[in-house]
Structure 1
Amino acid sequence: MSNKAGSFLWNLRQFSTLVPTGKTVRLCPLGFCRPKIVHPNWNLRNLPLSGFDDRMRSSVRHLLQGMCVFKSGNDGFLTEGVGTTAVLMVDRLCGPRRLSLDSKPPLVSVGSSGNGLKKVNFHHEVFSEDVLTKETKPTPTDSRKLSQECSSLSDVLDMFSKAPTFPSSNYFTAMWTIAKRMSEDQMRFEKHLMFSHPAFHQLCEHMMREAKIMRYNHLLFSLHAIVKLGIPQNTLLVQTLLRVIQERINECDEKCLSVLSTLIDAMEPCKNVHVLRAGLSILVDQQIWKIDRVFTLQAVMKCIGKDAPVALKKKLEMKALRKLDRFSVLNSQHMFGVLAAMNHRSVILLNECSRVVIDNIHGCPFKILVSILQSCKELQYRNVALFKGIADYVATTFDIWKLKQVLFLLILFENIGFHPPGLMDLFLKKVIEEPEFLNMQSIVSVLHVYSSLNHVYECQNREQFLGVMASALTACLPHISSENLLNAVWSFCLMNYFPLAPVNQLLQKDVISELLASDDMERNVHKLRLLETCLELDDTPYHKPIDLPLPQLPRMPQYQHVKVAQVLSSLLGGDRFFSENVQLPHDYHVDFEIRMNTDRTQVLPFSDVDAASTDIQRVAVLCVPRSAYCLGLSHPRGFLAKKMQHLNIMGFHVILVNNWEMDRLDMEEAATLLKTKIYLGEALPAAGVNLQST
């Protein structure tokens, strides 16, 4: 019995050299199982016979049951009985391998040695570094080499079909690298050939089979390439890779965090993407202070999205503030879009990045300028110095920009409410010189921008510009939609210009009926009523009324300006000297009306005077928000300017009271301010400059 035991221990000692590693599973904080590689010391002299651990017992058990291969399963490994007495446990991939397109060759072949112990003969498909030699390793093929040697997607698939190598991710990455060099039409044709190639489905099968053993960064790069190549997201390949990435998310290092964030941002929403985004948020929350690269930090911030917890957004903001001294110019430019993607308005970050952008504005690409302006609008971030810097840069380099690009920037400025007079003058002159640039959509956009920002009244070429725009609009009348026609004519009305042909076509019964039947009926009625008012009050060559009766719109609830009413009561001597919330003809409304003598030196009681008398001056007090002015200026925007003009025609002297100024003044200061506006001699210029800065 002792001889058998000694023989068994000798054989076991020899076998121990064939088992380089064991595998244990550690449960990570995210709730995913992460394999942990353990390198035990297999020296039986240091282990008592009674102290074999579970790993040794597992190995002995496999000596009797069969061979364990590298294919992962739910329990860690799947066993395939091959009727042998040898075992090889492979924990990770240490080298490339060749795969057959038709069958899966065995990893190990077993023979018999002369001493009675089963002998293991390793082929080049085995991955352990302990048994691989330079002569048995195939030449690795990386994605960069593939992309250089191949000129089309089909060439890469041909290379795969001839001699496939591990990992399959290299082929997908190489195909995406090649596709990026193609035009859209060529890429569309190449994708069609790719999907019909006989090796494509085999490559997808190899990719799914290798997903659990290839390096995590290769897995991420390959899925990113697969998505960019247009492989549908609901396919088994994409969903399988998403599940494997979820299971192995704890293998993320900083580089993988950046790639994973970019990948999630590029994918369409689905259940697996949602779960992966949630897992990434948890992982980022744990590793946020370990992130070193600013680029990785920004990619993560952009990926977690608007639905991330506020606490996590605050942590990311603090991390970004700590890295401010390492921000490059590009980092500062991209920070606007990152914060907009998070829907997190960090004024400190935005101010610092704005300073860097202004100092390095020359050479800034068009896409970056667009991203900055769009992000400022979404974040409601108003930095006049930043907007002025961008406008001045574009005006200085005006000749290098396309007119479409400048127009798009002007549209973004209008959305923000910023008025760049120098840039708008240059664009206006260019439109006069090159009217062929104008198409139907650009005509509507140009008219909207210039009327909304109330610019043409300060322009020397006003009549020439409006004539060019009217001629361009008239040429588009045969194929213009009713909505675009209304928008264009409404913009002309705000600029006090009435081209006959467009107005005639707009007032046709069928056009009016179509506008009243649209989904945005209330907005259309509002614009039609303004047109009707302009035709009645303004000096126009067109005096034909609108044939169809326009529906009455419900009156909007009026804001009660309590502080202004108190100040007027104290200043004028009681409530009987002014009227509040006065509704006027043509759907106009004023917050307060005061009646004074013609010299505007004395306020008259409402009950003692007649509004139709020629011996009185009616004063309209309008309480206006910031949005009624151009950003950072006292320059009224289009509708407010038009309303002031029409109130002047109706016999009113208009006074503008800024809501935000009244809120920060005490009662005495507010009374002094209103006194200087109401009484002549201390009042601001009004009536004659109804469309100018007040």
Structure 2
Amino acid sequence: MINRASSFLWNLGQFSTFVPTSRTMRLYPLGFSRLKVVFSNNSNQRNLLSDFGNRVQPSIRYLFQDALIFKSRDFKTRGISTETVLTVNKVLCPRRLSFDSKRSLVSDDGLKINFHLEASSEDVLTKETKPTPVNYRKLAQECSSLSDVLDTFSEAPTFPSSNYVSAMWTVAKRLSEDQKRAEKQLMFNHPAFSQLCEQMMREAKIMHCDHLLFSLLAVVKLGIPQNTRLVQTLLRVVQERINECDEKCLSVLSTILEAMEPCKNVDALRAGVWILADQQVWKIERVFTLQAVMKCVGKGAPIALKRKLEMKALRELDRFSDLNSQHMFEALAAMNHRSVTLLNECSKMVLGNIHGCPFRVLISILQACRDLRYRNVDLFKGIADYVAATIDIWKLKQVLFLLILLENLGFRHTDLMDLFMKKVIDDPASLNMKSIISILHVYSSLNHFHKCQTQELQEALASSLTGYLHHISSENLLNAVCSFCLMNHFPLALINQLLQKDIINELLTSGDIERNTHKLRVLAACLKLDISCHKAGDLALPPLPSTPFYSNAKVADALSSLLGEGCFLKNVQLPHNYHIDFEVRMDVNRSQVLPFSSVDVVPAAADIQRVALLCVPRSAYCLDLTHPKGFLAMKMRHLKVMGFHVILVHNWEIEKLEMKDIVTFLKTELYSAEVFPTTDVNLQSAC
């Protein structure tokens, strides 16, 4: 009997170390729902527990594994009410306790504590609910500025902080550029901004992976500098948790890295994306995710990964939407991977829905084609046809930007260029100096002339540009004058300004000196040969550097077979820095070839016809391969002034021909009585 009593008292003493005698504890900050603990109303137990007030214990949190923070309250003499917060997962007291079927906590020695879900009128606090996390969409609707979001955060910050940053990004997207700049400055100066940043850094390791990535994306889009501790901390945490990324997270992470500048943490994450993409590429279900990954991996990705992404895209072609086909150009350009098959298929889809394609997407497609060196005449023609048909709805600057890209691709669309020419003539005052110089470059480079409007365009642009003489830089003036020279037009006001000694010295001593010198040589040749201007001799230009000449062995062998040795010259250097591949002397009727004399290499007799054979590459022509570009057209014009008959030999065609076919071609060109057609070269005819 004594042993049983002492055992019972020992157990009761052990239990008293886990239950505070004078206070009841509850979790206050998180406000979860609570269970009430009520001791059974037994007089013996009441007497035994009456001495608990003499020994106040630290906290009941040691009894349950998941109870974190509690608030105390006095016990009652007729029972003990306690409220806990989280589910009881494990009992941590030294003596084993268990729950019976009636929700009573039972020790090995028979002591029971009954748990009742019903609350007494006196002992149970009012039930508190868990604070609901802020919804960033709702918050973005309620707030009109970034400061409003920060004010809301400072009043009652809740987890996760990513919702506040996402709301700020959503608000910022509604603002104009000027408003964004002002709001961002106010955001940086707001007293709660640093608090939000600190909370984000603390929460980074416990956020859901998608919340973490959306937070980083919002931070980057809000323009928070990349070298700040916040951004670098988030980047490091993403590195640690990159294995948690599913397809959605991979898409967001790819978008983030695409928008960031290279640095150690960004480069490390990009390498991680390479590994993830290589592992998960066949599991990617959404085409947009695939394209985001392609943009992210970049030009430095392993070629094996690029080909794997290309194969995945080819497999998904049947699921491509119009938007997918439009964005695939940009994705391939981002990783510098030229997949002709994929580009051809996407080009067909783009052409099939060209009228639903936004203008900025058309620009993006052309930029990607330029970067990938992808030439598709049907695609370029379809885009230009669409813009020409709807030219009235576009601004002049938009159409000009499109023409600049088409010129970079070497594509000349006559209808669009004629329509644009007419609009410029009708309203030249709407163009600024930069636009005028760009128009001159496009039309001179593509050697585009209109039989009635070209002269009007040249005069309108020259007149407009003359108004900028006191503001234009030396290089811009040189570019404009060189473009006029290619178009065989010579505005004296601009030329006289350019030929001033201080401007020439500036061009020869600063900037891209080699390029400037080349254009000054073009100017000198045009002034001498086209208008016989004496000022051309005043240009003291550095000597022309020696350049290697191409042997053109197949053409040389064909000429030897056709004419014999001594009847032609190779690699002839002419005045004004012109070079021709082969020169042949013939009679005026071009009926027979005259041999070269060892003494008089270039006879000046009037009964001699000099023939210049130019071996030209494909790049010297527009994309249709029938219209020479500006520099080739100018060279042909100047050679004719110097008394040559010009024959063009296409390198890319010669490479495909057998020797006998090359001989036949040269014989036809040399002995033909017809003059080489010049309608595609330049010539401005009157209406």
1:186 and 2:179 aligned: yes
Deviations 1:530-566 (A, max 9, x none): 21111111136x4433534111121211111111111
Rounded Cα–Cα distance in structure 2 between residues aligned with 1:692 and 1:121:
97
2:555 aligned to which of 555, 561, 564: 564
Rounded Cα–Cα distance in structure 1 between residues aligned with 2:87 and 2:177:
40
1:592 and 2:575 aligned: no
Residue 628 of structure 1 aligns to which amino acid in structure 2? A
1:88 and 2:88 aligned: no
* Residues 140/666 of structure 1: CA separation in 2 closer, same or farther (3 Å cut): same
Deviations 1:173-215 (A, max 9, x none): 0011001111122222222222222222111111111111111
Residue 388 of structure 1 aligns to which amino acid in structure 2? K
Q: Which residue of 2 aligns with 1:582?
A: 572
1:234 and 2:227 aligned: yes
Structure 1 residue 512, shift from structure 2 partner: 0.9
1:353 aligned to which of 341, 346, 356: 346
Rounded Cα–Cα distance in structure 1 between residues aligned with 2:63 and 2:74:
11
* Residues 428/319 of structure 1: CA separation in 2 closer, same or farther (3 Å cut): same
Query: What secondary structure does 2:655 align onto?
Result: helix
1:365 aligned to which of 358, 377, 397: 358
Residue 347 of structure 2 aligns to which amino acid in structure 1? S
* Residues 578/507 of structure 1: CA separation in 2 closer, same or farther (3 Å cut): same
Q: Contact 1:621–1:655 at 8 Å: present in 2 too?
A: yes
Query: What secondary structure does 2:609 align onto?
Result: strand
Q: Which residue of 2 aligns with 1:549?
A: 540
Rounded Cα–Cα distance in structure 2 between residues aligned with 1:119 and 1:423:
86
2:630 aligned to which of 638, 650, 658: 638
Q: Which residue of 1 aligns with 2:438?
A: 445
Q: Contact 1:578–1:595 at 8 Å: present in 2 too?
A: yes
Q: Which residue of 2 aligns with 1:613?
A: 605
Deviations 1:362-385 (A, max 9, x none): 132121111111110110000000
Q: Which residue of 2 aligns with 1:286?
A: 279
Q: Contact 1:172–1:222 at 8 Å: present in 2 too?
A: yes
Rounded Cα–Cα distance in structure 1 between residues aligned with 2:165 and 2:145:
12
1:258 aligned to which of 235, 251, 274: 251
Query: What secondary structure does 2:614 align onto?
Result: strand
Moved more, 199-208 or 646-655: 199-208
Q: 5 Å matches for 1:170-185?
A: 170-185=163-178
* Residues 692/470 of structure 1: CA separation in 2 closer, same or farther (3 Å cut): closer
Rounded Cα–Cα distance in structure 2 between residues aligned with 1:559 and 1:250:
56
Q: 5 Å matches for 1:212-251?
A: 212-251=205-244
* Residues 630/126 of structure 1: CA separation in 2 closer, same or farther (3 Å cut): farther
Structure 1 residue 136, shift from structure 2 partner: 2.6
Structure 1 residue 121, shift from structure 2 partner: 5.0
2:156 aligned to which of 139, 158, 163: 163
Rounded Cα–Cα distance in structure 2 between residues aligned with 1:571 and 1:354:
46
Q: Contact 1:485–1:502 at 8 Å: present in 2 too?
A: yes
Identity of aligned residues (%): 66
Deviations 1:158-186 (A, max 9, x none): 11122211111000000110011111222
1:685 aligned to which of 667, 676, 679: 676
Query: What secondary structure does 1:233 align onto?
Result: coil
Q: 5 Å matches for 1:406-417?
A: 406-417=399-410
* Residues 392/84 of structure 1: CA separation in 2 closer, same or farther (3 Å cut): closer
Q: Contact 1:635–1:692 at 8 Å: present in 2 too?
A: no
Deviations 1:234-276 (A, max 9, x none): 1221111111111111111111111110011111211111101
Structure 1 residue 306, shift from structure 2 partner: 0.2
Query: What secondary structure does 1:664 align onto?
Result: coil
Structure 1 residue 445, shift from structure 2 partner: 0.7
Q: Contact 1:124–1:136 at 8 Å: present in 2 too?
A: no
Structure 1 residue 690, shift from structure 2 partner: 4.4
Structure 1 residue 7, shift from structure 2 partner: 8.6
* Residues 282/109 of structure 1: CA separation in 2 closer, same or farther (3 Å cut): farther
Deviations 1:500-534 (A, max 9, x none): 11111111111111111123122212211221111
Q: Which residue of 1 aligns with 2:592?
A: 602
Rounded Cα–Cα distance in structure 2 between residues aligned with 1:655 and 1:506:
34
Structure 1 residue 469, shift from structure 2 partner: 1.1
Residue 297 of structure 1 aligns to which amino acid in structure 2? L
Residue 596 of structure 2 aligns to which amino acid in structure 1? F
Q: 5 Å matches for 1:27-46?
A: none
Residue 319 of structure 1 aligns to which amino acid in structure 2? K
**Structure 1: gaps (5+ residues):** 15-80, 91-105
Rounded Cα–Cα distance in structure 2 between residues aligned with 1:338 and 1:126:
52
Q: Which residue of 1 aligns with 2:29?
A: none
Structure 1 residue 152, shift from structure 2 partner: 1.3
Q: How well do the aligned residues superpose, as a CA RMSD in angstroms? A: 3.1
1:464 and 2:441 aligned: no
Residue 431 of structure 1 aligns to which amino acid in structure 2? V
Residue 643 of structure 1 aligns to which amino acid in structure 2? K
Residue 140 of structure 2 aligns to which amino acid in structure 1? S
Q: Which residue of 2 aligns with 1:473?
A: 465
Structure 1 residue 87, shift from structure 2 partner: 5.4
Residue 211 of structure 1 aligns to which amino acid in structure 2? A
Q: Contact 2:377–2:623 at 8 Å: present in 1 too?
A: yes
Query: What secondary structure does 1:600 align onto?
Result: coil
Structure 1 residue 125, shift from structure 2 partner: 13
* Residues 360/126 of structure 1: CA separation in 2 closer, same or farther (3 Å cut): farther
Residue 571 of structure 1 aligns to which amino acid in structure 2? L
Deviations 1:377-421 (A, max 9, x none): 110000000000011100000100000001111111111110011
Residue 386 of structure 1 aligns to which amino acid in structure 2? L
Rounded Cα–Cα distance in structure 2 between residues aligned with 1:516 and 1:112:
93
Q: Contact 2:284–2:290 at 8 Å: present in 1 too?
A: yes
* Residues 649/639 of structure 1: CA separation in 2 closer, same or farther (3 Å cut): same
1:663 and 2:655 aligned: yes
Q: 5 Å matches for 1:347-426?
A: 347-426=340-419
Structure 1 residue 108, shift from structure 2 partner: 5.4
* Residues 182/689 of structure 1: CA separation in 2 closer, same or farther (3 Å cut): closer
Q: Which residue of 2 aligns with 1:74?
A: none
Q: Which residue of 1 aligns with 2:493?
A: 501
Deviations 1:67-104 (A, max 9, x none): xxxxxxxxxxxxxx9896345369xxxxxxxxxxxxxx
Rounded Cα–Cα distance in structure 2 between residues aligned with 1:124 and 1:238:
35
* Residues 506/250 of structure 1: CA separation in 2 closer, same or farther (3 Å cut): same
Q: Which residue of 2 aligns with 1:45?
A: none
Residue 399 of structure 2 aligns to which amino acid in structure 1? V
Deviations 1:416-454 (A, max 9, x none): 110011000001111110011122111111111111100
Q: 5 Å matches for 1:293-312?
A: 293-312=286-305
Q: TM-score if structure 2 supplies the norm length?
A: 0.82
Rounded Cα–Cα distance in structure 1 between residues aligned with 2:493 and 2:523:
15
1:673 and 2:650 aligned: no
Rounded Cα–Cα distance in structure 2 between residues aligned with 1:88 and 1:274:
42
Q: Contact 2:477–2:498 at 8 Å: present in 1 too?
A: yes
Q: Contact 1:594–1:620 at 8 Å: present in 2 too?
A: yes
Structure exhibiting the larger radius of gyration computed from Cα positions: 2
Q: Which residue of 2 aligns with 1:531?
A: 523
Structure 1 residue 567, shift from structure 2 partner: 1.3
Query: What secondary structure does 1:618 align onto?
Result: strand
**Structure 2: gaps (5+ residues):** 19-57, 91-116, 118-125
Structure 1 residue 614, shift from structure 2 partner: 1.6
